[in-house]
Amino acid sequence: MLYNGRPIDLTPEEEEIATMFAVMKDTDYATKPVFVKNFWEDWKKVLGPKHVIQKLELCDFTPIFDWHAAEKEKKKQMSAEEKKQLKEEKAKAEERYAWVLIDGVGNFRVEPPGLFRGRGEHPKMGKLKRRIFPEDIVLNIGKEAPVPECPLPGHKWKEVRHDNTVTWLAFWNDPINVKEFKYVFLHQSSSLKGKSDEEKYDKARKLTSKIDSIRESYTKDFKEKDVEARQIAVATYLIDRLALRAGNEKDDDEADTVGCCSLKVEHVSLSPPNSLEFDFLGKDSIRYQNSVVVNEEVYDAIHDFKKGKKEGVDLFDRLDTSKLNAHLKKYMQGLTAKVFRTYNASYTLETQLKETLGATLNEKTAEYSRANKEVAILCNHQRTVSKGHSAQMERLEAKIAELKTLREELATDLGKVKKGKPPVHSTAKRPPTAEQLEKKLAQTDARIAKMTLDLSVKEDLKTVALGTSKINYMDPRITVAWCKRHEIPIEKVFNKSLLAKFAWAMNVEPNFRFCEADGGADEDP
């Protein structure tokens, strides 16, 4: 790299961190002041106070960026055989770490060092994620099992445990958020993981038969004189109706993200006669903005909770997640905010899919995607519009325009052929028959319809992330049963990974219903 216009030598560690920053040159992160500031603060610690590099603005990372781009291009130019050989060599090296006696292992790879990106406007973006060593990792294996060989000579595992009450196989502290842990679990297709998933969705499904009585109970408490009881009732209402997370306390150096219990007074505004305006950073620093018409008693309660409080003060100042969850368990064993979230996500999907009107396979799968979208909106699963979205849309629109021109030509030629005249747009030696032109016309119409639908769906879904709700919140049996009822190959809505994860759900009957009893989730709030 260059410093103040001159080449400069770096140690391997200094160069590694510089490379992490250089490869981000053309991304949005490189333009974010917080990202750049955090990178510079962490890199300075490695450079040391006496290093020649003293100002980031005098650094030119272009040589490193160009080297990285050239290396990427080399990989692109590799033959299929060379890529296959590399893949096989990697798989062979990892093979011994990929299996346990009862099931396969999930993702057992430790994330390499790099610059933390985070989601949304995370305050720690750009900070250095240090390298994880064996001394950071705790293993969990059977008492009689041999301890896995440490892959780095001269190093050893932090600890080896024999705990058969948990399903994790290894963990280490997250290098950025040190209070959090990274785990290695059994593979998602394992029987134990599948059983755990099935129990999770069965618990949410059980809520169907209890939801009416739960709502009746917390509604009675909206006018409670006891402030804590009233706050619990309103918080439960918001978690139920808006699928909010419960929320936990955060340290000063953590992202200022909140859930229901940790809402501040400035996060909720009152809009007469009975609307609430929510605006806060949710999980992963994703902004939650929503305007909701609520029960008048809830509106009045929020007004009272805000009264006399300054910005930065808790809206629910008598409440925390432990109190809330303890109260929820009085309604149903094991009931938590996440169970409400899973229930409402699954209920929404099933409700949206009740009236499937599409005639073709593409129309039906588009309806499924839009139902999935409603769940993603409910759960605030957002994403930024991809850089290539506009270009993709332009290509699709251009292709549709070409097909429409072709259709006009085919229609003109068909009209002439039917009148016994030669077609004007055909270059074939043998002029096409009317039957051939009709067939081509029908095929072109089908292609136009498919591409127009693809264009509409792609535009409709550009800001929502469908995957998270599909993986974690929507009961897969709803999807499998729907596919069976409408004769849709399950591969059209579940990728290979989800097919393995939800193998336990594949034998469900076509008449399966998540909401066996009327849960009343479609009542007005």
* DSSP character string of 251-308: -TTS-----STT-BGGGEEEETTTEEEEEEE-GGG-EEEEEEE--HHHHHHHHHHHTT
| Length of the chain, in residues | 525
- Bridge partner list, 186: 105
* Mean pLDDT computed over 106-128: 84
Cβ 280 vs Cβ 263: under 8 Å: yes
Beta-carbon contacts of 433 under 8 Å, excluding residues fewer than 6 positions away, are 417
Q: Give, as one character, the DSSP assignment of residue 168.
A: E
79 touches 22 (CB < 8 A): no
Cα separation, 382 vs 384, in Å, equals: 7
Task: Write down the pLDDT at residue 140.
Answer: 92
* Strand, helix or coil for residue 144: coil
Nearest to 189, CA basis, from 181, 197, 201: 197
Q: How far apart are CA 381 and CA 466, in angstroms?
A: 7
Adjacent-strand bridge partners of 228: none
Name the pLDDT band for 523 (thresholds 50, 70, 90). very low
Asked if the model's pLDDT at residue 287 lies above 70, the reply is: yes
CB distance 81 to 48 below 8 Å: no
- Please give the pLDDT value at position 145: 85
Q: What is the DSSP letter of 224?
A: -
Torsion region of 334: left, alpha or beta (phi above 0 gives left; psi -120 to 50 gives alpha): left
Q: How many CB atoms lie within 10 A of CB 227?
A: 15
Least confident of 49-53, 300-304, 388-392: 388-392
Each residue's pLDDT tens digit, 29-73? 899 999 999 999 999 999 999 999 999 999 999 999 999 999 999
Per-residue confidence (pLDDT) for residue 104, from 0 to 100: 56
Catalytic residue from among 201, 288, 299, 473: 473
Which residue ranges form the domains of the chain, and what is each CATH number?
Answer: 2-76 (1.10.10.41), 94-185 (2.170.11.10), 211-331 (3.90.15.10), 347-505 (1.10.132.10)
473 in active site = yes
Token pair for residue 254? Answer: 């953590």
Those residues with Cβ within 8 angstroms of residue 225's Cβ, 6 or more apart along the chain or in another chain: none
Instruction: Tell which wins on pLDDT, 119 or 274.
Output: 274
* 8 Å CB contact between 129 and 296: no
| Helix or strand holding residue 166 (H, E) | none
DSSP class per residue in 80-121: HHHHHHHHHHHHHHHGGGSB-SSSBB---PPPPSEE---SSS
What is the value of pTM for the model shown? 0.70
Locus of tokens 């030509």? 409
